[in-house]
Amino acid sequence: SDPLTAIQEEILALKKERNAVILVHNYQIEAIQQIGDYVGDSLGLSYRAAEADADVIVFCGVHFMAETAKIVNPGKTVILPDMEAGCSLSDSCPGEKLAAYKEANPGLYVVAYINCSAEVKALSDVICTSGNAVKIVEKVPQDRDILFVPDQNLGQWVAKQTGRPMQLWPGSCYAHVLFTVRALEKVRMQFPEAPIVAHPECVESVRDMADEVCSTEKMVAFCQNNPADSFIVATETGMLHRLRRELPNKTFIAGPTDRCACNDCRFMKMNTIEKLRDCLRDLSPEIKMDEEVRKKAFDPIQRMLEWSR
């Protein structure tokens, strides 16, 4: 692979000095993915964060992911390159609104997609990721009515896979809902043999036309095991770096939207290589959390980690 740049070398030296581990989501820029100790999806990253024994966890992803790392491993200093790196999906379900809804509708079993705040996790019974959502929902006691928050697209997909009716919170990912059947059909005319791989945060019509719907991590395995040599990838563009690095002999085409040939998540892209260097140097911005909320948010995450082993 390519030699590292000066700033990447600087980051690795700082990492040693700080006794840090660099956890990286699949949507991060290539220069950050190249120097990650682990690059993966939300589920893999949660396990890695829980197991981390370094003093510092540098989380290259968005805020809820770094917050999850702090919840499962509170003794560590958890930093993220840009504190403003949020998530539209997480924002679509504020804690107060969920609390009010639960109060008005008592007895619901709340399954929360990990893309939510610590406050929302603290109000939930179990957490899931796109990688284990079907498995988690299947384990919810049969006599309970489920409320699934905050992603209505993932929730609708899981309800269909499991045959289990669920109330869906009306949230969505601003980036994934930009993929359309029309835009994907256009690119499929150019690559008629290429299977379409889509994230479950995409809308139903896009999921229905896809050959595979799965988490970012499972996309790697799917493309590896599928005999095709080209794939159309309907998820955030960072995923293409991961796929091209792991499967250099295959071709990956970014899923287009109606307006753009690819689809970046503006929050994921707030982390830059300079900000990563600065946060390791300054040990800031750091994730801090109310201990009461942290403890309440821990139980449903712990339940997920046990249920999905």
Residue with Cβ nearer ligand SF4 (13 or 262)? 262
Would you say 46 is a known binding-site residue? no
Give the residue, chosen from 148, 157, 169, 267, that forms a contact with ligand SF4 under the rule CB under 6 A: 267
β-bridge partners, 231: 252
Is 260 a known ligand-binding residue?
no
| Distance between CA atoms of residues 22 and 39, nearest Å | 9
Provide the β-strand partners of residue 132: none
CB 177, min distance to ligand 13P, A = 11
Report the interhelical angle of 63-72 vs 42-51 (nearest 10°).
40
Q: Is 132 annotated as a binding residue?
A: no
For the beta carbon of residue 146, count every other beta carbon within 10 angstroms: 22
115 is in an annotated binding site: yes
Contact of residue 184 among ligand SF4, ligand 13P, none (CB under 5-8 Å per partner type)? none
Closest CA to 127 of 198, 67, 61: 67
Interface region with ligand SF4, contact rule CB under 6 A, candidates 75-83, 167-175, 180-188, 209-217: 167-175
Tell me the C-alpha distance between 31 and 53, whole Å: 24
Provide the binding-site residues for ligand 13P, judged by CB under 6 A. Answer: 26, 41-42, 115, 129-131, 173, 199, 201, 215-216
Q: Measured between alpha carbons, how far is residue 106 from residues 98, 134, 148, 149, 231 in Å?
A: 12, 24, 14, 16, 45
Decide: is 115 part of the binding site for ligand SF4 (CB under 6 A): yes
Are 33 and 24 in contact by the 8 Å Cβ rule? The answer is yes
Q: Which of 41, 82, 119, 236 binds ligand SF4 (CB under 6 A)?
A: 236
CB of 174 to ligand SF4, least distance (A): 6
Binding flag, residue 112, ligand SF4 (CB under 6 A): no
173 annotated ligand-binding residue = yes
Binding site residues, ligand SF4, CB under 6 A: 62, 87-89, 115, 173-176, 201, 236, 265, 267-268
